[in-house]
Chains A and B, each alone.
Chain A
């Protein structure tokens, strides 16, 4: 393994599985309703911050720590998330 610092990227991601999503949502002040949709702590619907589509466990993509910024798994939204928050 050679040291290629110039090529190195720290993406700083923490990957989660579907079964971990409840716990992570709770950490950022969100929760999933009984009908499966993401909601804020005051029970308002939480949509994707890019496309505005409602978010369920199956289409959640990314959550920014320390905020309730959530993106769905659409590549367009995901790219916006990377562009805005990824530490490239």
Chain B
């Protein structure tokens, strides 16, 4: 019996239309279900594993066992695809989620999911929803929400942390050891990330300089990125640019100007050329 027949038999035929399932008839699906490719809002394809028939039977018999069997919830049909599409339409995001699951603390992972949702809404240009989501993120994760969002938005999850994780995996340690080590590593960087300063709304120019100074005084730091977002922060960026031009101990490597939603953003990359100096 193919999966189409199973779904129809169980009265779940509508799911086929809902998920626009493309069934490969050459494959012999069994009752345990199989991976199905679906189109997400006409964009990238992702793989979806439908609940198996036993779980479908549980819907009828004992819904309390559903969650234990991997059923996350009853969701209104028109919300499923837009939201899944938002979260997982890009294969890279799927890989990122899989990469960090169980390897960072749960609260960080959860904040990461929301952060990528915020980024998706920002990329779609929905500033209102992304702002609401961000407020919610900070409210729910006051200690780490902003930092995790900054990591995600700045590409550190795909770059810096991914590389570190790759190193640990390459060293050939067992998965439990990798998890333990990476959890510690990641948590330390959530507390203090030495390679970047994200300028927030309440930071003054002098506070930015102090933050830069703290980092560049560390022996192992030779470069630093400073991120500015929004008109007021961009003004600070210009001020910093002028300030650093005449500085003997530092050199500006890169200045990137870009937009997120409608906000102008600047990233200034600086490099230390003298060992002992002060920025302030």
Task: Spell out A's residues near B (CB within 8 Å).
Answer: 1, 3-4, 6-18, 24, 27-28, 50, 60-67, 73, 75-76, 78-88
Contacts and interface: CB of A to CB of B under 8 A. Distances in A.
A12 B74 CA distance: 9
Interface string B127-168: 001001100100010000000000000000000000000000
B220 interface: no
B113 A83 contact: yes
Interface residues on B, range: 35 or more
A73 B74 CA distance: 12
A75 B133 contact: yes
A62 B101 CA distance: 23
A18 B121 CA distance: 26
Nearest to B82: A75
Contact of A85 (B72, B76, B117): B72
B24 interface: yes
A16 B117 contact: no
Contacts of B47: 4, 7-9
Contact of B72 (A12, A27, A76): A12
Contacts of B75: 13-16, 61-62
Contact of B74 (A4, A8, A16, A82): A16
8 contacts: A7-B98, A12-B71, A12-B72, A50-B136, A65-B67, A75-B117, A79-B83, A80-B114
Interface stretch (B88-96, B207-215, B266-274): B88-96
Nearest to B100: A88
Given A65-B67, A76-B133, A82-B87, 4 more contacts: A10-B70, A24-B74, A76-B129, A79-B114
Could you tell me the dominant secondary structure of chain A's interface residues? mixed
Contacts of A63: 73-74
Interface of B: 14-15, 18, 24, 27, 35, 37, 46-49, 51, 59, 63-68, 70-77, 79-80, 83-84, 87-88, 91, 94-95, 97-98, 101, 110-111, 113-114, 117, 121, 129, 132-133, 136, 140
Most chain A Cβ neighbours within 10 Å, of B64, B83, B101, B110: B83
Given A28-B63, A65-B66, A73 B73 contact: no
A8 B49 contact: yes
Nearest to B27: A1
A73 B76 contact: yes
Nearest to A1: B24
Given A65-B71, A83-B110, A10 B95 contact: no
Given A15-B18, A62-B74, A82 B117 contact: yes
Nearest to A3: B35
Contacts of B68: 66
A4 B37 CA distance: 10
Contacts of B63: 27-28, 65-66
A63 B72 CA distance: 9
Nearest to B22: A1
Contacts of B27: 1
Contacts of B70: 10, 12, 87
B76 A8 contact: no
A33 B24 CA distance: 44
A16 B114 contact: no
